């Protein structure tokens, strides 16, 4: 991971070291996460690739498009972010199983400082969410089958 992803990771570690979250608050947050997921703990997606880190990014995907690929055990998230209007993006993508098959049905949530934007996974594992604010976001996926997963915060 390079570029913005590395910088955000370093910044996160700095914040955790300089102003650590009380252990009790962390414990309660994990318990709440398990409760919201019906008892299953959230799994964290790992960023595999980001077109913003590649020289000449955007030349294949259209003007200003950014592509990201995340993975977690048994799942791959392929995400495209495209500017719609100033300050807003259209997020689209697909959730695939380890074997490359679409994961149909479920919910995708783009969390940002001002709230959330939600969409549904269609029968082909695809989704489209409009008006995602530019800036820090985290993606939460709740497929109908299997455990839900979340990305670290990243800047779009």
CATH topology for the 4-155 domain: Immunoglobulin-like (2.60.40)
CA 113 remoteness from chain centre: 14
Instruction: Specify the pTM.
Output: 0.70
Write down the pLDDT at residue 15.
66
**Greatest Cα-to-Cα distance within the chain, rounded to the nearest angstrom:** 47
Taking alpha carbons only, the member of 77, 73, 88 closest to residue 147 is 73
Give the span between the Cα atoms of 152 and 59, in whole angstroms: 26
User: pLDDT tens digits for the chain (156 residues)?
Assistant: 456 667 767 777 776 777 776 776 666 666 665 555 544 556 899 999 999 887 554 444 456 899 999 999 889 999 999 999 999 999 999 999 988 999 999 999 999 998 999 999 999 999 999 999 999 999 999 999 888 899 988 888
Distance set, CA 109 to CA 6, 25, 91, 117, 136 (Å): 23, 23, 11, 6, 14
Distance set, CA 87 to CA 90, 125, 128, 131, 135 (Å): 11, 27, 17, 9, 8
Across the chain, the runs of DSSP E, i.e. the strands, are 43-44, 46-50, 66-72, 75-85, 88-97, 106-112, 115-120, 126-133, 136-143, 149-150, 154-155
Hey, where are the domains in the chain?
4-155
């Amino acid at each position: 991971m390079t570029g913005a992803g590395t910088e955000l990771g370093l910044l996160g570690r700095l914040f955790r070291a300089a102003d650590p979250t009380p252990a009790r608050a962390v414990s309660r947050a994990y318990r709440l996460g398990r409760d919201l997921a019906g008892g299953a703990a959230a799994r964290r997606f790992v960023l595999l690739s980001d077109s913003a880190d590649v020289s000449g990014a955007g030349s294949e995907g259209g003007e200003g498009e950014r592509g990201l690929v995340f993975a977690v055990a048994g799942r791959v998230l392929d995400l495209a972010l495209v500017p719609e209007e100033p300050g807003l993006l259209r997020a689209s993508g697909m959730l695939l199983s380890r074997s490359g098959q679409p994961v149909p049905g479920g919910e995708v949530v783009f969390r940002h400082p001002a709230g959330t934007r939600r969409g549904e996974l269609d029968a082909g594992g695809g989704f489209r969410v409009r008006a995602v604010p530019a800036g820090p976001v985290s993606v939460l996926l709740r497929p109908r089958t299997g455990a839900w997963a979340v990305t670290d915060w990243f800047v779009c």
